[in-house]
Structure 1
Amino acid sequence: MLNGILLLKDIGFADEEMFNANIDGKTWEFRRGILTFNFSAVHAEFLVENITLYFFVSSRKKLAIVQISCIIRKNTIKEEDRIHMITLKSDREIQAMEESGAILAGIHEELRGFIKPGLTTMEVNNFVQARIEVAGAICEQIGFEGYEYATCTSVNDEICHGFPGKYVLKDGDLIKVDTVVNYNGAMSDSCWSYVVGEATPEVKRLMEVTEKALYLGIEQAKPGNRVGDIGHAIQTYVEGEGFSVVREFIGHGIGPTMHESPSIPHYGDAGKGLRLKEGMTITIEPMVNTGVWKSKMDDNGWTARTKDGGLSCQFEHTIAITKDGAKVLTQQK
């Protein structure tokens, strides 16, 4: 257990791929702007004095990972750099999240029969909100950074964060329904894609590839692997099938709040990035496009859609990293 002040200096603030620094007789790895410490900590703070970083660490009993995210260039550090805490969940906490996830999975199961031509996206939203509230849970998205709805309902070329509204679903539409459930303080997050009426061959294949990509990513979510292993598995498969992976929007840690560290890109290099630890809870949520991966933003400041007007599909699960691998907490029947 570490307690006190760690001094990190003279590490050569160059744009190198990776280097090591010796702190208190231990070697720590620095890779692509991410410096990761493994210790028992309640908080950590850092300040910058020229090119010297001072880390102040306070101890606590529960093991956590403190990830200090820094974009470092010679003699500079961005103001927005900040500390991210990644909490490792106990079996009890994971069980609570699984109970939350069961509510969410059940709602997605119901949506299979509910979504049909003629419904508005607001009616879909209201259906989900009612189901969450009947279960005694909270629609966690409402009020998040000013967001007003229980769901994101993104149709066709909308990648994510589509506002529910007056749009009337028609045969062949591809709708993505994303929501977050807070059940007694335990979070679960899942987006699922649905075809309205009959699917065209293009939509059917896009959905099949996206869902398989999700599970290929989940297979890599195990202790000892790195975040890059998840993204690499997804990206190589998707691009090999002739589609593209969205890069502007990614997965994330979850619990105790809706969005936590670490970030989980759906692209990247195998063997790179943060090492995965037992007890982490994250979302994996690849967004896959028929055309280019780039997006453009609607005037509402929330809704992202494909830059070229192509279709976009998404599937998402909340998972826990266990000693046996990934445990899906939002698994549908």
Structure 2
Amino acid sequence: MIELKTPAEIERMHVTGRFVGEVLTEVGRLADVGVNLLDLERHVRGMIKERGAVSCYWDYSPSFGRGPFRNVICLSVNDAVLHGLPHDYVLRDGDVLKADIAVTIDGWAADSARTVIVGTPAADDLRIIRAAEEALEAAIEEAHPGRRVGDISEAISSVARGYGYPVNGEFGGHGIGRTMHEGPHISNTGRSGRGLVLRPGLVLALEPWFAKSTDRIVYDPDGWTIRSADGSRAAHAEHTVAITEDGPIVLTRRESEN
């Protein structure tokens, strides 16, 4: 189902988006050598409870997961690319951590993800993070009325091709509003000029993610954590973006990005 939001509803989603950005800023600050993923999870739970927000992940039971999901944030390390189940793992120097979170406040959702390096960064890890972030900004630039979903998909895959990274088309962006997942699906690969015409009031979670040397994925025994099939490291970037007559508004932009 595709539901267009009013300006007032978009502003309510912006309230949620600001909080999501605050959480990811805090996760980036806390992610350090020696920190356990379970401690990060507990800290985020506390932030959500204090704000009076509701996790979109808790009890989430999609067809691809071994549900229900009983955590409030996805934490994926190194070759884990998406839906990382927080577990008893202590972060090490050089780890690449992806943090992905979605919550509702007063019934309106926002969804965002970022990738950070723990401790000492490696040049090729910085490169793939930069590619994911550039692909996200390129996608946002296409989020104008009259353009099409395929224009967003092509923008993402074009950045990936420029960096030499393959692109998986199975998991990508999506509409968002009163629930975390609404229509349409936004593939990370596609052709410009194709697909749904973008209209004011449409709110999308755009989320490019790339692994360094494969577009194939495998699942961990936990049924949730998705890894690159060849073990190569990955990066993920995501923002919730509203399409308006005046252009895209990034609802989950973090203060460090302004």
After TM superposition, is the score higher than 0.5? yes
RMSD between aligned residues: 0.9
Partner amino acid, structure 1, of 2:91: L
Give the Cα separation in 2 of the matches to 1:277 and 1:213.
21
Are the aligned partners of 2:78 and 2:95 in contact in 1 as well (CA < 8 Å)? Answer: yes
Give the structure 2 partner of residue 65 of structure 1: none
Give the Cα separation in 2 of the matches to 1:108 and 1:161.
15
Is 1:112 matched with 2:28? yes
Partner amino acid, structure 2, of 1:124: L
Is 1:213 matched with 2:129? no
Are the aligned partners of 1:216 and 1:234 in contact in 2 as well (CA < 8 Å)? Answer: yes
Give the structure 2 partner of residue 139 of structure 1: 55
2:193 to 263, 271, 274: 271
Give the Cα separation in 1 of the matches to 2:137 and 2:27.
21
* TM-score for the superposition, normalised by structure 2: 0.94
Q: CA deviation at 1:266?
A: 1.0
Partner amino acid, structure 2, of 1:260: E
Q: CA deviation at 1:246?
A: 2.3
Which structure has more RCO (C-alpha within 8 Å, separation ≥ 6)? 2
Give the Cα separation in 2 of the matches to 1:166 and 1:90.
43
Give the Cα separation in 2 of the matches to 1:112 and 1:175.
9
Give the Cα separation in 2 of the matches to 1:194 and 1:182.
24
Are the aligned partners of 1:229 and 1:271 in contact in 2 as well (CA < 8 Å)? Answer: yes
Q: Structure 1: which 5+ residue stretches go unaligned? A: 1-84
Partner amino acid, structure 1, of 2:162: G
Q: Structure 2: which 5+ residue stretches go unaligned? A: 62-67
Partner amino acid, structure 1, of 2:208: P
1:150 to 59, 72, 81: 72
Give the Cα separation in 2 of the matches to 1:255 and 1:123.
29
Q: CA deviation at 1:248?
A: 1.8
Q: How does 1:196-211 map to 2 (within 5 A)?
A: 196-211=118-133
Give the structure 2 partner of residue 95 of structure 1: 11
Give the structure 2 partner of residue 126 of structure 1: 42
Aligned length: 249
Give the structure 2 partner of residue 301 of structure 1: 223
Q: Would you tell me which structure has more helix in proportion to its own residues?
A: 2
Are the aligned partners of 1:248 and 1:295 in contact in 2 as well (CA < 8 Å)? Answer: no
Q: Structure 1 segments of 4 or more deviating over 2 A?
A: none
Is 1:288 matched with 2:210? yes
Aligned-partner SS, 1:239: helix
